[in-house]
Amino acid sequence: MSPTDPSPGGLARRLGTGDAVVVGLGAMIGAGVFAAFAPAAAAAGGWLLAALGVAAVVAYCNAMSSARLAARYPESGGTYVYGRQRLGDLWGHLAGWGFVVGKTASCAAMALTVGSYLAPGYARPVAVAAVVALTALNLFGVHRSALATRIIVGVVLVVLAAVVVAGLLGGTGPVVGAAGGVPVDGWGVLQGAGLLFFAFAGYARIATLGEEVRDPQRTIPQAIPIALGITLAVYALVAIATLRALGPAGLAAAPAPLAAAVSQAGAGWLVPVVRIGAATAALGALLALILGVSRTVFAMSRGRHLPAGLDAVHPRRQVPHRAEIAVGVAVVALVCVADLREAIGFSSFGVLIYYAVANAAALTLRRDEGALPKPVPVVGIAGCLLLAATLPGTAVLTGLVVFAVGGVVWWAGRSVRARR
């Protein structure tokens, strides 16, 4: 069988390690830098870098667990598949449910970010246009989507490099709380880490492409840590530069913190470039998010945890076209009512629970199945649950209600699945 032959589920294996890394970078870089840093700074204050470190540790554990599971179960669906295989049908369903609902909200948030940067007076129409255009791109095949994401990531990295240079050379503020004599606020650091986790969640896109990468047992475990490591390095540099330019309070209060940072650092000519970079980054994140959510919808429909028919594969392009269209329609609907900062908290809650299930599934792996050292998934479970609990109260309450609804949906569909 050729490496690019369709998998047993019918999807073409076209992506190599480089493409998979870029898909993960496209999902992570942009969502965090341009959306999550300001609310995280409001929570963690001068200890933003500590919060970033905590989020990175939890993300690393999740990445390792996801990589081992994805290598063993190279199917579309990510933790939806792992939870069902290792923990039982209900846990897989709840993981998939949380991913689809939370990441659909993230799609709306990224689309609104595009609109607010490109045309503030027409943010919602521009957001709708972005969703329609990127959904159409995905319908033409994942290979073209990966190519577009590669270009977007390159543009964004150049813009962020300019921000870092400007902030480091022109800023004078304290970078950490200790430098300014600010006592550490443990709860604030944890809440900031929970909000920043929103920025690290993109490596899930790699795992949900399990049926579309070549040699998944090798490619997925390589691509996830590489994408995570690059993203952490970029985030740390940007955090240092913006803190140095604005200080913790200025960063927390800035509606467009990177633009404010370069302006404060005396590089006002970079502001339009940063705004274009922000819109480009949000487009990259939206592209990868739609791609990943549609694959989970495809897998859940195939398992009859979502309506039948969404698991159809286009006979020529070999993509789950109905799932992609359904996700696009749902995101367009949410764009009309979404609030960016609330969406970040809600999405973080759903994704943290999703990864708690992933770590629990990884904990059941035997040594001959590629088991990790036990502390890795244990720290991952504890970290995910702790960060989820420290998120803003509205996000926690809404998330609990959404998962309760997901449990009801699972219970109501038992008879349908039993007849299969």
Residue 146 pLDDT more than 70? no
Average pLDDT over residues 139-149: 66
Mean pLDDT value across residues 288-292:
81
Average pLDDT score over the chain: 83
* Confidence tier at 304 by pLDDT (50, 70, 90): confident
Of 17-21, 149-153, 268-272, minimum mean pLDDT range? 149-153
Tell me what pLDDT residue 130 has: 92
User: What is the homologous superfamily of the domain 17-410 according to CATH?
Assistant: Amino acid/polyamine transporter I (1.20.1740.10)
- Predicted local confidence at residue 1, as pLDDT: 42
pLDDT score of 58: 94
* Mean pLDDT of the region 370-377: 92
Task: Tell me the whole-structure pTM to 2 decimals.
Answer: 0.81
User: For residue range 55-73, what is the model confidence (pLDDT) as tens digits?
Assistant: 999 998 998 898 888 878 8
The percent of residues above 90 in pLDDT, for the chain, comes to 28
Residues 330-368 pLDDT 10s = 999 988 887 777 888 888 899 899 999 999 999 999 988
SS (H, E, C) the chain: CCCCCECCCCCECCECHHHHHHHHHHHHCCHHHHHHHHHHHHHHHHHHHHHHHHHHHHHHHHHHHHHHHHHHCCCCCCHHHHHHHHCCHHHHHHHHHHHHHHHHHHHHHHHHHHHHHHCHHHHHHHHHHHHHHHHHHHHCCHHHHHHHHHHHHHHHHHHHHHHHHHHHHHCCCCCCHHHHCCCCCHHHHHHHHHHHHHHHHHHHHHHCCCCCECCHHHHHHHHHHHHHHHHHHHHHHHHHHHHHHHHHHHHHHCCCHHHHHHHHCCCHHHHHHHHHHHHHHHHHHHHHHHHHHHHHHHHHHHCCCCCCCCCCCCCCCCCCHHHHHHHHHHHHHHHCCCCHHHHHHHHHHHHHHHHHHHHHHHHCCCHHHCCCCCHHHHHHHHHHHHHHHHCCHHHHHHHHHHHHHHHHHHHHCHHHHHCC
What mean pLDDT is predicted for residues 69-95? 85
Q: Where are the domains of the chain?
A: 17-410
| pLDDT: which is higher, 43 or 288 | 43
Which of 31-35, 80-84, 393-397 has the weakest average pLDDT?
Answer: 31-35
Q: What is the mean pLDDT of residues 409-416?
A: 75
Give the mean pLDDT of 109-125. 83
Name the band, by pLDDT with cuts 50, 70 and 90, for residue 211: low
